[in-house]
């Protein structure tokens, strides 16, 4: 019988959307599913996790050292928890999961399967390589624990239902002091979260400046959409880094993705392959983005984006 | 202080990799190979630290086939002082790479080890974190800004929520994100000079590392194809098409 431990993604007060996806991945593996929240005071976050369909128990390890999301602090606690008969350790493919899980895997002396997009068996998975140009099936040999991150865009979030038990727990692990948290600068705002928004409007290099990127924000607001960007737009400083979509940014699967002034480089496309409908607006009819778009419009964005915003009532 | 930089030889990012029709792998014979882009950024950062007086020596390391010499030579031409190639046949998982790097870390005792956040072939994003764990030292992953002072590094990290700052005591492991710096171009005279810089070769077995081999790749497939879509003429048609799909 599998016994799966999931590291919860959270911001210190609420559960992140990646965890419901990770629970769905765990449910595909099958077995008992415990979610653990490492936080300063994680009872409320664990209570949220407990309502996810498939969860057996929601644990929280409350400690001052868990106030900040430090991998060097989290990993030894996970390794210690795994000694309680767990067969799998999972987390979402968020920057938190990506930071912590390989460190825990190495402490456990086992390899990791990153970005699981399909479960073929308790130790058999599919994952993307080469920026999503190939999908490899892998099997984890041996009888050590399986450690993996779950690619959120590939799984439907676990639904919520009756609450599983919530339990406070403690772990004994050596907590290092060589790593100290200083601060987080979040530009956030109240727009829908890019990673989980059902609609996303993204802008590329063509916007030309941070001021012009306002066109994207305005259009997104009329559609109640999240905002994304290409690497070129982030590198040029039009928008902050957390808006980058792609191989090395966020991998997203909104119902609707609108790419504006984005050429469609493979590294960008790998971030949106699972989107429901892709709309592309580009003035170059030969732009590669039109090879993947469901609806394409060859036009100058500076004309059509304000028109769209206007017609949608913005 | 020494800085160790890990350079992986990977298929160049401009190559559109194809899966072999029989599903046994990807067809990469004869395609252009390069230094993993994130590792070039790692090397650039190490060179800037050395140039600012923060380190005496920059050592580039690669693990893999002997052809990785080319990437190490490029690294030397960029400005690294010496290179180590750990030769290994067959595939390595990040845990193997981390175990190998640990052996070199124990030998060289660097103050910093800088890696890319992810190799663009396996897209694993694991090796730096694993090395830090095995070494029992701090990790600062996805770095977009690094400041060294007083035996510690203050590192700004690109995280999903924005920019996070942490402070780590040295020695430490850093992994680079895209916006840490822009790597320099190699100049021709440097390529000539690099030919005379030391490049040591060690077999992975001589370091006492046994590849774990516990992740077996059983099949390769191309990604699901998206159906070809429609083109619309103007905004009204676009909005109409979205309404038809129930998206507006
Ligand atoms: C290791 C590595 C990782 C990477 N990771 C990512 C990643 O995660 N995400 C990512 O996005 N990229 C990534 N990239 C970069 C990627 O290769 C491309 O360079 C980038 O996506 C290009 O961004 P863009 O489409 O905005 O710019 P461009 O390629 O310059 O495209 C701009 C487009 O705008 C169109 N245009 C110009 N003016 C107008 C106008 N007035 N109206 C309408 N259209 C107009 C042009 O026709 C063009 O198609 C990565 C690259 C590397 C090497
Ligand atoms: N075989 C290798 N040789 C040199 N460096 C490597 C090797 N494998 C991984 N690395 C380093 O580890 C980083 C992350 O790789 P990965 O964990 O495979 O995504 C890379 O950017 C390199 O810096």
Tell the residue nearest (CA) to atom 49 of ligand 1: A263
Pocket-testing residue among B62, B119, B120, ligand 2, by greatest number of atoms within 8 A of Cβ: B119
* Cβ B159 vs Cβ A96: under 8 Å: yes
Tell the residue nearest (CA) to atom 34 of ligand 1: A261
Residue A126 to residue B213: CA distance in whole angstroms: 17
Confirm or reject: Cβ of A42 under 6 Å from ligand 1: no
- pLDDT score recorded for residue A124: 98
Residue in B142, B165, B218 closest to A138 by CB: B218
Ligand 2 center to B5 CA (angstroms) = 10
- pLDDT score recorded for residue B175: 98
A35 pLDDT more than 90: yes
Chain A segment 128-167 residues within 8 A of B by beta carbon are 128-142, 144
| Interchain contact, A111 vs B215, CB within 8 Å | yes
Q: Is A284 on the interface with B (CB under 8 A)?
A: no
pLDDT tens digits for chain B (248 residues)? 999 999 999 999 999 999 999 999 999 999 999 999 999 999 999 999 999 999 999 999 999 999 999 999 999 999 999 999 999 988 899 999 999 999 999 999 999 999 999 999 999 999 999 999 999 999 999 999 999 999 999 999 999 999 999 999 999 999 999 999 999 999 889 999 999 999 999 999 999 998 877 899 999 999 998 888 999 999 999 999 999 999 98
Confirm or reject: Cβ of A202 under 6 Å from ligand 1: no
- Residue of B161, B160, B119 whose CA lies nearest to A94: B160
- pLDDT score recorded for residue B1: 97
* Ligand 2 site residues, Cβ closer than 6 angstroms: B 6-8, 36, 38-39, 42, 62-64, 92, 94, 97, 115-116, 118-119, 122, 124-128
Instruction: Express each pLDDT in A132-179 by its tens digit.
Output: 999 999 999 998 999 999 999 999 999 999 999 999 999 999 999 999
How large is the greatest C-alpha to C-alpha distance in chain A, in angstroms?
61
Residue B213 to residue B218: CA distance in whole angstroms: 13
| Interchain contact, B164 vs A184, CB within 8 Å | yes
Residue in B167, B178, B226 closest to A248 by CB: B178
- pLDDT score recorded for residue B113: 99
Strands B139-149 and B152-159, bridge-based pairing = antiparallel
Confirm or reject: Cβ of A170 under 6 Å from ligand 1: no
Confirm or reject: Cβ of A77 under 6 Å from ligand 1: no
List the beta bridge partners of residue A93: none
Tell me the two tokens of residue A200: 């996303």
- pLDDT score recorded for residue A187: 77
Residue A117: CB atoms within 10 A of its CB come to 22
Ligand 2 center to B197 CA (angstroms) = 23
User: DSSP per residue over chain A, as a string?
Assistant: --EEEEEPPBSSSSB-THHHHHHHHHHHH-SEEEEEEEESS-HHHHHHHHTBTT-SEEEEEE-GGGSS--HHHHHHHHHHHHTTT-SEEEEESSHHHHHHHHHHHHHHT--EEEEE-EEEETTEEEEEEGGGTEEEEEEE-SSSPEEEEE-GGGSPPPPB-SPPPEEE--------SSEEEEEEE----SSPPTTT-SEEEEE-GGG-STTTTHHHHHHHHHTT-EEEE-HHHHHTTSS-GGGBBSTTSB----SEEEEES----HHHHTTTTT-SEEEEEES-TT-GGGGT-SEEEES-HHHHHHHHHHHTT-
Backbone angles phi, psi at A23, to 5 degrees: -60, -40
- pLDDT score recorded for residue A26: 98
Residue of B nearest to A18 (CA): B160
What confidence category does residue A189 fall into, taking pLDDT thresholds of 50, 70 and 90? confident
Residues sharing a CB contact under 8 Å with residue B219, sequence separation 6 or more, in sequence order: A136, A137, B23
- pLDDT score recorded for residue A314: 75
C-alpha distances in Å from residue B5, one per residue of A83, A187, B85, B162: 34, 32, 12, 26
Confirm or reject: Cβ of A250 under 6 Å from ligand 1: no
- pLDDT score recorded for residue B211: 80
Q: ∠ at Cα B64 (B60, B70), nearest 5°? A: 55
- pLDDT score recorded for residue B226: 87
Q: Please tell me the pTM assigned to this model.
A: 0.97
Residue in A139, A187, A296 closest to B162 by CB: A187
Give the number of A-B residue pairs with CB atoms closer than 8 Å: 257
C-alpha distances in Å from residue A121, one per residue of A53, B45, B170, B220: 20, 42, 42, 17
Q: Is A256 on the interface with B (CB under 8 A)?
A: yes
C-alpha distances in Å from residue A110, one per residue of A34, A142, B53, B157: 20, 10, 38, 26
- pLDDT score recorded for residue B212: 76
Residue of B nearest to A100 (CA): B129
| Interchain contact, A130 vs B168, CB within 8 Å | no
Residue A73 to residue A63: CA distance in whole angstroms: 11
Residue A96 to residue A70: CA distance in whole angstroms: 8
Residue of A nearest to B119 (CA): A130
A241 pLDDT more than 80: yes
Residue of B nearest to A240 (CA): B162
Which atom of ligand 1 is least distant from the CA of A203?
A: 26
Q: Is B165 on the interface with A (CB under 8 A)?
A: yes
Find the mean pLDDT for residues A15-19: 96
Q: Which residues of A touch B129 (CB under 8 A)?
A: 71, 98-103, 106
Q: How many residues does chain A have?
A: 314
Pocket-testing residue among B100, B115, B140, B174, ligand 2, by greatest number of atoms within 8 A of Cβ: B115
Cβ-based burial of A209 (10 A; exposed 0-12, middle 13-18, buried ≥19): exposed
Interface confidence, given as ipTM, is 0.96
Q: Which phi-psi region, left, alpha or beta, contains residue A99 (left: φ > 0; alpha: ψ -120 to 50)? A: alpha
Residue B58 to residue B156: CA distance in whole angstroms: 22
- pLDDT score recorded for residue A45: 98
Residue B147: CB atoms within 10 A of its CB come to 12
* Cβ A2 vs Cβ A122: under 8 Å: yes
Which one of A79, A80, A91, A129 would you mutate to disrupt binding with B, by most B Cβ within 10 Å of its Cβ?
A: A129
| Interchain contact, A199 vs B247, CB within 8 Å | yes
Mean per-residue pLDDT over chain A, rounded:
97
* Per-residue H/E/C for chain B: CEEEEECCEEECCCCCCEECCCCCCEECCCCCEEECHHHHHHHHHHHHHHHCCCCCEEEEEEEECHHHHHHHHHHHHHCCCEEEEEECCCCCCHHHHHHHHHHHHHHHCCCEEEEECCCCCCCCCCHHHHHHHHHCCCEEEEEEEEEEECCEEEEEEEECCEEEEEEEECCEEEEECCCCCCCCCCCHHHHHHHCCCCEEEEEHHHHCCCCCCCEEEEEEECCCCCCCCEEECCHHHHHHHHHHCCCC
Ligand 1 center to B111 CA (angstroms) = 37
Residue A202 to residue A153: CA distance in whole angstroms: 17
Ligand 1 center to B10 CA (angstroms) = 22
Cα B120 to the center of its chain, rounded Å: 8
């Amino acid at each position: 019988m599998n016994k799966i431990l999931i590291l919860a993604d959270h911001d210190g007060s609420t559960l992140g959307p990646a965890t419901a996806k990770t629970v769905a991945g765990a449910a595909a593996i099958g077995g008992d599913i415990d979610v653990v929240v490492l936080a300063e005071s994680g009872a409320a976050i664990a209570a949220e996790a407990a309502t996810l369909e498939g969860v057996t128990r929601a644990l929280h390890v409350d400690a001052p050292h868990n106030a900040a999301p430090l991998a060097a602090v989290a990993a030894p606690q996970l390794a210690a928890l795994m000694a309680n008969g767990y067969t799998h350790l999972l987390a979402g493919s968020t920057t938190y999961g990506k930071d912590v899980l390989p460190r825990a895997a190495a402490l456990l002396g086992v390899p990791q399967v990153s970005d699981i997009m399909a479960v073929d068996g308790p130790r058999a998975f599919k994952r993307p390589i080469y920026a999503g140009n190939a999908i490899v099936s892998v099997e984890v040999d041996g009888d050590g624990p399986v450690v993996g991150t779950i690619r959120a865009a590939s799984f439907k979030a676990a639904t919520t239902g009756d609450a599983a038990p919530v339990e406070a727990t403690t772990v004994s692990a050596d907590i290092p002091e060589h790593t100290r948290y200083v601060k987080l600068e979040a530009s956030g705002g109240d727009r829908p979260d890019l990673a989980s928004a059902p609609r996303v409007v993204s802008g590329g290099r063509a916007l030309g400046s941070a001021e012009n990127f306002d066109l994207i924000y305005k259009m997104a607001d009329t559609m109640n959409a999240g905002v994304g960007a290409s690497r070129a737009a982030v590198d040029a400083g039009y928008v902050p880094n957390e808006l980058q979509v792609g191989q090395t940014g966020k991998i997203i699967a909104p119902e609707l993705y609108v790419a504006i002034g984005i050429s469609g480089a493979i590294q960008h496309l790998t971030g949106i392959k699972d989107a429901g409908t892709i709309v592309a607006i580009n003035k170059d009819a030969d732009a590669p983005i039109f090879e993947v778009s469901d609806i394409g419009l060859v036009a100058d964005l500076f004309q059509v984006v304000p028109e769209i915003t206007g017609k949608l009532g913005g | 202080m020494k800085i160790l930089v890990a350079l992986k030889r990977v298929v160049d990012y401009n190559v559109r990799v194809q899966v072999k029709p029989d599903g046994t792998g990807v067809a990469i014979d004869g395609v252009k190979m390069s230094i993993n882009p994130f590792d070039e950024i790692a090397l650039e950062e190490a060179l800037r630290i050395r140039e600012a007086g923060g380190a005496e020596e920059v050592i580039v390391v690669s693990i893999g086939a002997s052809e990785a010499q080319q990437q190490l030579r490029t690294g030397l031409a960029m400005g690294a002082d010496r290179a180590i190639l750990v030769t290994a046949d067959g595939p390595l998982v990040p845990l193997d790479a981390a175990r190998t790097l640990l052996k070199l870390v124990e030998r060289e005792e660097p103050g910093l080890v800088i890696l890319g956040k992810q190799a663009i072939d396996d897209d694993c994003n694991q090796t730096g974190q694993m090395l830090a764990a095995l070494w029992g030292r701090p990790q600062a992953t996805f770095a977009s800004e690094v400041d060294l002072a007083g035996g510690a590094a203050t590192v700004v990290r690109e995280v999903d929520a924005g920019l996070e700052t942490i402070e780590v005591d040295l020695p430490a492991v850093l992994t680079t994100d895209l916006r840490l710096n822009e790597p320099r171009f190699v100049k021709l005279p440097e390529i000539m000079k690099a030919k005379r810089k030391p490049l040591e070769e060690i077999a992975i077995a001589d370091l006492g590392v046994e590849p774990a081999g516990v992740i077996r790749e059983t099949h390769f497939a191309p990604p699901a194809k998206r159906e070809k879509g429609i083109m619309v003429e103007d905004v009204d048609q676009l909005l109409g098409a979205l309404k038809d799909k129930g998206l507006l």
